[in-house]
Structure 1
Amino acid sequence: MAGLMALAAPLPAIAASGPSKASEWSLGELRAADVRVLSVGYRLATANAPFCRAIENAAGMTLHHIGQYPDAGAARATFGFAGDYAVLALVADGPAARAGLRTDDAIVSLNGMPLAPTAEELAAIDQVAAYRPIAWADARMRAALDKGPVALGILRGGEPMTVTVAGTPACRSRFELRPSDSYGASADGDIVGITVPMLAFMVDDDELAAILAHELSHNLLEHRRRLNEAGVQRGLMQQLGRNARITLATEIEADRLSVWLMANAGYDPRGAIRFWTRYGRQRGKGIFSAPTHYRWKKRVRLFEDELATLQASVQEPRGWYPPLLAEPPAPLE
């Protein structure tokens, strides 16, 4: 379920002993999980906005599209969908909720223009076909919010109305739950994603914040662009020689910055230590034991050292200024 804009209020953690595959979760459970991911992401992004170079206005809501769901009938039974687009989730006290939006409101227009992409617009989007409509709407909604308050035309109980929403500053990134059955998390420069099994492994939101903060750090430090400029090869070649060494440097940077992002958002940075200790012992093989990543014990020591550095620093009224954000990212070598 791809989230459109970040959320805030934290939800109770899903027990690690519960279902671990996306196929085992109901649509309602996936909605709750999506809200949880986006809630923690919103909190990280808004709390660290004073230190980020790329800022956007977050509205505290997510949208979804009926075309995302293989079983449209089940989606309509669970979520309503009076139109193609609808509100998936809201922050309890976020900008969109304060403006009067409600969960399952159908969104039919943005600033007076129909929220209806053309076939040509969708064809130009480099996404799986089912997710192109939400990617299209996401791009337009984010661009409109960055210019100021947006007027959303909605349908509620069959009645049309208009709700005006103003965003709040946040580090530029959006957060989404990915309905994969594999363990993983990723960042592409704009989107932070985490899979259902990875989320199910989390004991609490401090651990979830550790993973999302790490991936957010990749975006904030422009690692995809810098890796491309350094000529790092992807795939199997990324595990070898110079490619692996430079990739490892970005992973170290992301781990270091994540500690500061967590602290500024009010999460316990030791959640990263708890998570990687447990994950390393239970699932220590695979990508996280490749030459592009520290082994879990060395990674835990890195977190401990960075936390000591943070605790010895002076906290400003707006938070701890992360050293890695104090200067523009340097070229990778």
Structure 2
Amino acid sequence: MILPALVLIAACNPAMGGPGRASASLASPLQTFQDKEVRLYEIGYRLASANAPYCDRTEPTLGFLIHDAGAYDDANRVREEFGLVGDIGVQAVAPYSPASVAGIKINDTIIAIDGQPVVSFQPDLEETWRRALDIRRKISASASSGSVTVEWSSSDTGVQRADLEVAKVCKSQVELLSKSDSALADGTRILVGDRFPGLAYSDDELAAVLAHEMAHNVLNHIEFLIENGRSGNRGRNSERDADRLMPWLLANAGYDPGAASRMMQRYGPRHSGGIFRSRSHDGWDERVSLIQTQVEAVNRIRSHTGDARVDWRIHFKPLLNEI
């Protein structure tokens, strides 16, 4: 739950977690990593799509992630384990996303994007993550037109082709990093380590973790702190605002807003050193109190209006703006 200004991490192969090659010597670690990525991506998409009407910055998406078998030491082993007929596999698919509606499933193989075969994207032997990045950029560029034609192969239905209408989500995609125990925001993404303790939490409490980091992104904290610095209580108020916005983001996505308080009560006592000891954050009990005030506000407004979703831009007043 820290807020560094990160250099862009080249982890565009979701199964890599950074530049270089991953070991495919064991099958189970690959599957375990994918399972974590799928869970994070589904929760993150749910938060980002539900809150998109209220985010200043949105991005088009098809609702699926890819990974590149060719980026591993043993590409054949990876293709065999995931049942791929090529290198570019589907790592995760968000429910109710354009990809899911079209029938794209986890471990399908992407064949072409808008008529361009993925085999035309040349692998980089030094920067093995780059081909997946290039394909993701192709998808993003095509998505700007409002629809993307995707051709893919599925083990049960064979080769398929469909025009996918893009969805708009808050600009805050979730990515899983290997050999890391942190969760943080970089302005446009949420980066979660595969060893982060919150992965053992229930879905709504893990959603609260992602909502905290998403709040940093949607409230533009990175840019603000780079421009204005963290002095004068700016850094601490950015953390307070991220905590306080959690219940609003959760409620709009259909999660219990009270999960934000429960998550902090679970996380805080066990991790009360580090970021808390540095005083860049309030103590965990103080944070619970701030969060609970917002939980009550969310529930009160929803009860009054009868609406499941709330425009938090109207009701949420950032502390950072008061400095």
Aligned-partner residue type, residue 139 of structure 1:
R
1:256-285 Cα distance to aligned partner (Å, 9 max, x none): 111100011111122222222222222211
Contact kept? 2:122, 2:131, Cα under 8 Å: no
Work out the CA distance in 2 between the residues paired with 1:327 and 1:294.
19
1:286-308 Cα distance to aligned partner (Å, 9 max, x none): 12432211121111111111112
Q: 1:187 to 1:66 in 2, by over 3 A?
A: same
State the TM-score, normalized to the length of structure 1: 0.78
Q: 1:106 to 1:2 in 2, by over 3 A?
A: same
Alignment-derived partner of residue 248 in structure 1: 236
Q: Give percent identity, aligned residues only.
A: 31
Work out the CA distance in 1 between the residues paired with 2:237 and 2:318.
16
**Within the alignment, does 1:266 sit opposite 2:254 as a pair?**
yes
Aligned-partner residue type, residue 85 of structure 1:
I
Contact kept? 1:189, 1:218, Cα under 8 Å: yes
Aligned-partner residue type, residue 200 of structure 2:
M
Alignment-derived partner of residue 86 in structure 1: 89
Q: 1:143 to 1:71 in 2, by over 3 A?
A: same
Give the counterpart of 1:101 among 90, 101, 104. Answer: 104
Secondary structure at the counterpart of residue 263 of structure 2: helix
State the TM-score, normalized to the length of structure 2: 0.80
Q: Which runs of 5+ in 1 are unaligned?
A: 5-22, 233-241
Alignment-derived partner of residue 179 in structure 1: 178
Give the counterpart of 2:34 among 31, 35, 38. Answer: 31
Work out the CA distance in 1 between the residues paired with 2:240 and 2:80.
45
Q: 1:72 to 1:44 in 2, by over 3 A?
A: same
Q: Which runs of 5+ in 2 are unaligned?
A: 1-10, 15-25
Aligned-partner residue type, residue 164 of structure 1:
D
The root-mean-square deviation of aligned C-alpha atoms, in Å, is 3.2
Contact kept? 1:101, 1:163, Cα under 8 Å: no
Contact kept? 2:27, 2:81, Cα under 8 Å: no
1:82-138 Cα distance to aligned partner (Å, 9 max, x none): 22312123235432122132332322321122334467xx79xxxx93433333322
Contact kept? 2:237, 2:319, Cα under 8 Å: no
Alignment-derived partner of residue 277 in structure 2: 289
Deviation at 1:320, TM superposition (A): 1.0
Work out the CA distance in 1 between the residues paired with 2:276 and 2:166.
36
Secondary structure at the counterpart of residue 82 of structure 1: coil
Aligned residues: 298
Work out the CA distance in 2 between the residues paired with 1:132 and 1:331.
39
Secondary structure at the counterpart of residue 300 of structure 1: helix
Give the counterpart of 2:141 among 129, 138, 143. Answer: 143
Deviation at 1:222, TM superposition (A): 1.1
Deviation at 1:189, TM superposition (A): 1.4
Aligned-partner residue type, residue 182 of structure 2:
G
Secondary structure at the counterpart of residue 101 of structure 1: coil
Deviation at 1:73, TM superposition (A): 3.9
Aligned-partner residue type, residue 241 of structure 2:
E
Map 1:212-251 → 2, pairs under 5 A: 212-232=210-230, 242=231, 245-251=233-239
Secondary structure at the counterpart of residue 151 of structure 2: strand
Work out the CA distance in 1 between the residues paired with 2:317 and 2:139.
30
**Within the alignment, does 1:162 sit opposite 2:178 as a pair?**
no
1:33-82 Cα distance to aligned partner (Å, 9 max, x none): 11110111111111111211222233222111124434434322222332
Q: 1:218 to 1:136 in 2, by over 3 A?
A: farther
Deviation at 1:310, TM superposition (A): 2.0
